[in-house]
Amino acid sequence: MEFFMDTWNTILQFYENYIGDGYSFYVYVASLVFLIFTEKKKQIKTILIIAPVIMLACFSFPPFKMLFDVIGLDSETYYRILWLIPMGITIAYAGVKLFEKYIWVGLAVMCALVIYTGNYVYDNPNITKAENGHHIPQIVINLCDAVLMDADEDESRVWVVFPSEFIHYVRQYTDVICMPYGREALVDRWGFEYHLKDLMEAEEIQSDELAEEVRNCWCEYVILSEHKNFSEPLENYGFELINTVNEYNIYRDTEIE
């Protein structure tokens, strides 16, 4: 029983995270209820009513979550079931159906409702003005280009250790550059640990340990802020400073085979 309640509390936490501090989900529920009683077309009922109701029912049923865990799928995947709910389409369709005889009035009312019950997306600190057509920080492009310019043109893969703040973006720019760890290393609750990442983020870089671990991971290049402190110069361990880009130093391992 205790396990059942823990599972139920986890499901409620998923709902809380999904709903956030806005009211859009409640507008969706109201739209769904409205369509349940008014929609007659079978195809639309299947897509906007029956399928979402079944998904929400399964998602809210603790044994379904338990089965999900038994077959080895994690909670991050389970949470994404909620992403399948067609909230925007359902709200828009319900609004059109409700105000079909007064479409312009309905448009104004629905726009006001969505604005009032939602959040202004540009208040999110993770949303910034695009610096380029790739929609990633320009510094990442500059660093990648500098590495690729130095690397052997015949190499199909170049292994590089990046500072953690750039890991999310590298793969969005090029598939030639590979990294020894990715996003999984940045999410604490996933429990992945990488000694190389700890060495890269230390207040003082232990040059001997970093050099050894970089070679253990078969990486050719290391990128570090030029403001980092080192126990010894990396050059003492066979690394050559080949470029400095936007206050980041790019080192190449001269001893790699």
Q: What is the pLDDT of residues 185-234, one digit of tens each?
A: 887 776 788 999 999 999 999 999 999 999 999 999 999 999 999 999 99
Q: Which of 106, 75, 74, 79 is nearest to 91 (CA)?
A: 106
pLDDT band (50, 70, 90) for residue 7: confident
Instruction: Give me the pLDDT at residue 6, please.
Output: 84
pLDDT band (50, 70, 90) for residue 127: confident
Give the CA radius of gyration of the chain.
Answer: 26
- Which whole number is the average pLDDT over 101-122? 89
pLDDT band (50, 70, 90) for residue 141: very high
pLDDT band (50, 70, 90) for residue 122: confident
pLDDT band (50, 70, 90) for residue 123: confident
- Measured CA distances, 36 to 49, 58, 99 (Å): 7, 19, 17
pLDDT band (50, 70, 90) for residue 255: confident
Question: What does the mean pLDDT of the chain come to?
Answer: 90
- Measured CA distances, 27 to 40, 83, 113, 184 (Å): 21, 16, 8, 34
Q: How far apart are CA 70 and CA 63, in angstroms?
A: 10
Instruction: Give me the pLDDT at residue 21, please.
Output: 82
Say how many residues make up the chain.
257
Q: Which of 201, 191, 206 is nearest to 163 (CA)?
A: 201
pTM: 0.71
Dihedral sign computed on CA atoms, order 59, 63, 64, 65: positive
Task: Give the amino acid at 197.
Answer: K
Q: pLDDT at residue 131 above 80?
A: yes
pLDDT band (50, 70, 90) for residue 147: very high
Q: pLDDT at residue 257 above 80?
A: no
| 46 CB neighbour count, 10 Å cutoff | 10
Instruction: Give me the pLDDT at residue 200, please.
Output: 95
Per-residue pLDDT reduced to its tens digit, 52-72: 999 999 999 988 888 888 887
Per-residue pLDDT reduced to its tens digit, 15-60: 998 988 889 999 999 999 999 999 999 999 999 999 999 999 999 9
Instruction: Give me the pLDDT at residue 160, please.
Output: 96
Instruction: Give me the pLDDT at residue 236, please.
Output: 94
Q: Which of 198, 227, 216 is nearest to 253 (CA)?
A: 216
- Which whole number is the average pLDDT over 98-113? 91
**Six token digits for residue 149:** 């310019």
